[in-house]
Structure 1
């Protein structure tokens, strides 16, 4: 992947971090983003493991299906840094990684991480509970949070956004593209509806409104209007853009991919 500036790194990850927090994650967005930078050096690899989670027992779940990559790493052993190689979990997306990390942090071992009242305390509890072997892990996390002003994302993560009136009975799900959350989707009667302009324009489409229908690159699509926003079915939008839309039933997300 092309090198990212620190601002680009955080900007790319922030929407997914905020989404997961709104879904009930106990991790502060600021701590999560700081951890991602510390663990990756600011590179988002195609296997999307941003927290150094190893394969471990190999127990699969809704977010990790057993895929892995083997790569070099380093650990502190007897107070000294040592190079080694290890098998790390590989994921379909950043969203899948974050949700799997939350499952890991739900273990009794990490109770103090979950109950931390501030980002600084949570960073300290990650180290105290043995998440990493680096004796300076908490100090580094707190330094990154301060340096890049990451606490600004914490308030966004705690803000709940109501569903559109037409979709008040729908299940709100995440739509993912290139590993990141790009839009909310609303699953209603087996069909996922998405905000046409928000999602379509972010993917390079020309979106317009005829007065009764959304058009995508000039093609009218079945539409629904709610609070002055036009919604279309995700599969229709994907087809117009040369994408495939697949449903991950276990993770409850839609994945958009190039055909």
Structure 2
């Protein structure tokens, strides 16, 4: 039997990857939900989030396969065991999570998408009616805290910060190159060459040339070509 940590190690890379790609779900919440819904084991139908067939609308990640099994629900404040349910079946774990993200794109789950913290998102999941268990949010947070799952949220934040730094560095390089390509004023060392080129009728506008343009013009002037 797989250990709890082995289960987390299996789910965490997928949760982090999807979050980096724009998933609204915090990795900590995604992993905690998978643990809560399955008890920490992978089922044969790769549905770790208790996603039922519902209206049965097909998606790019779910093509209609499902399994019928027994679950429990809280109905009118009372837990009812041995409740039959039809659950979506997926070819991979990632497909199941991606299908769930499509579900979270609906207006019903606006609070889930806008959540600013794992605790806020866990509460939003409960308030949106994702599960009938009134203790759903508290149970998710207990799992997150017990297993220190926010480390995966921090991993995403760190990766995004580094990516932002790389983007800013690239933007600075582009700006520098653009500045080198189109100069607002004629460099002092190129003025003589520019004037000579104008007098010779080789150019019309003395400004907005690139650094390389002014350098070439200066070389030609020094060689007596301009």
Would you call these one fold, judging by a TM-score over 0.5? yes
CA distance in 2 between partners of 1:38 and 1:58 (Å): 24
Aligned partner of 2:62 among 47, 61, 64? 64
User: CA-to-partner distance for each residue in 1:8-40, whole Å, 9 max, x for gaps?
Assistant: 110011111111111100100000000000000
The aligned runs of 1:195-234 (5 Å cut-off) are none
CA distance in 1 between partners of 2:14 and 2:144 (Å): 18
**Secondary structure, counterpart of 1:117 in structure 2:** coil
How many matched pairs?
A: 160
Deviation at 1:47, TM superposition (A): 0.9
The aligned runs of 1:1-259 (5 Å cut-off) are 3-83=1-81, 84-158=83-157, 159-160=159-160
Query: Rg bigger for which structure?
Result: 2
Deviation at 1:155, TM superposition (A): 2.1
Deviation at 1:152, TM superposition (A): 0.2
Q: Which runs of 5+ in 1 are unaligned?
A: 163-259
Deviation at 1:4, TM superposition (A): 1.4
Which residue of 2 is the match for residue 165 of structure 1? Answer: none
TM-score normalised by structure 2 residue count: 0.69
CA distance in 1 between partners of 2:10 and 2:48 (Å): 13
CA distance in 2 between partners of 1:13 and 1:141 (Å): 15
**Secondary structure, counterpart of 2:156 in structure 1:** helix
User: CA-to-partner distance for each residue in 1:213-233, whole Å, 9 max, x for gaps?
Assistant: xxxxxxxxxxxxxxxxxxxxx
Which residue of 1 is the match for residue 209 of structure 2? Answer: none
CA distance in 1 between partners of 2:39 and 2:57 (Å): 28
Deviation at 1:157, TM superposition (A): 2.7
CA distance in 1 between partners of 2:52 and 2:58 (Å): 12
The structure 1 segments of at least 4 consecutive aligned residues displaced by more than 6 Å after TM superposition are: none
CA distance in 1 between partners of 2:18 and 2:70 (Å): 29
User: CA-to-partner distance for each residue in 1:168-219, whole Å, 9 max, x for gaps?
Assistant: xxxxxxxxxxxxxxxxxxxxxxxxxxxxxxxxxxxxxxxxxxxxxxxxxxxx
CA distance in 1 between partners of 2:55 and 2:156 (Å): 31
**Secondary structure, counterpart of 1:27 in structure 2:** coil
TM-score normalised by structure 1 residue count: 0.60
Higher strand share: 1
Deviation at 1:46, TM superposition (A): 2.1
CA distance in 1 between partners of 2:2 and 2:71 (Å): 21
Q: Which runs of 5+ in 2 are unaligned?
A: 164-226
